[in-house]
Amino acid sequence: MARKRYSAEQINGMLREAEIQLASGKTTGEISRMLGIAERTYYRWRKAYGGMKVDQAKRLKEVIGYRAASFSINATNLWALEELEASGHRYSSSIYPVRHDIYGMPDAPRFAFFPATTEKLIEWPGPTLDIGGHRWACGGGGYFRILPYALFRWAVRRIHARDRQPSIFYFHPWEIDPLQPRVDGLGLKSRLRHYTNLGRTEARLRQLLTDFRWDRFDTLLGLRDG
C-alpha cells in the first residue's frame, strides 16, 4: 500500500488537533490511531513542526529560489530559467557575469534583472566589480577563502557605496570543515580552489556577519509574505 503524503499545512493542523486531544487526556497512541499515523510518525512530526505557525508551515513547501550548481546557467542554456519559472521559482542566482574557465556569462547585467526568456522570474547574478577594464568576482566560495579578508570586505563596501546595491554572499558547508578528507589525484588548480584556507573560513564568516547587515533574498526582492 502506498504511503500517504501530507503537506506541511496538513501536518501542522493535525498537530494542533493532537494538542487538543492530549489536553483532554488521550494518550499519544490513541491520538496517532485517530489521525491514522504511526506513533513514531507523530513524534517525528512534533519534533520537526511543533510550535510552528500556519504561515511558517506553508512556506516550508514553497521553494521559490534556486542557484544552479557552479553557476552553470549561461547564454547557451537560458531555457533553464524558463523551466525554473514554470516550476514555481520566483528568483534565481545561477548566472555569474564574469569570464571563468568553468562558468560565466560576462555580458549579463551585474545586478538583479528580468531575463528575456522569463516573465516574472528574477535573476540576481553573483556580485562583481568593474575595475581597470576588467570584471572581478567577489561573491563567496573560493573568492572568499583565497582573497585576503580585508580585500573582500573592501569589495563589498565598494558595491554598497558606488553601486548603491546590496551584495549577495554564498559559501558551501564543506568550506568550514578543515578536517575533511583529501581527494587523491587532483590537479594543482583544483587543490588550490578547494582546500586553500579551509581552516580560516569559519572565523572569516563570523567577521563578515559582524561587519555587515544581512537579509534573505526573498525579503530584499519583496517576495516574502508576512
Assign 37 a pLDDT band (cuts: 50, 70, 90): confident
Distance CA 90, CA 75 (A): 20
Assign 226 a pLDDT band (cuts: 50, 70, 90): very low
Angle at 70 between CA 207 and CA 127, to 5 degrees: 50
Q: What is the pLDDT of residue 18?
A: 87
Q: Give the predicted TM-score (pTM) of the model.
A: 0.71
pLDDT of 1 higher than 60:
no
DSSP 159: I
Distance CA 20, CA 181 (A): 49
* β-bridge partners, 113: 123
Distance CA 172, CA 132 (A): 30
| Cβ 37 vs Cβ 10: under 8 Å | no
Assign 202 a pLDDT band (cuts: 50, 70, 90): very high
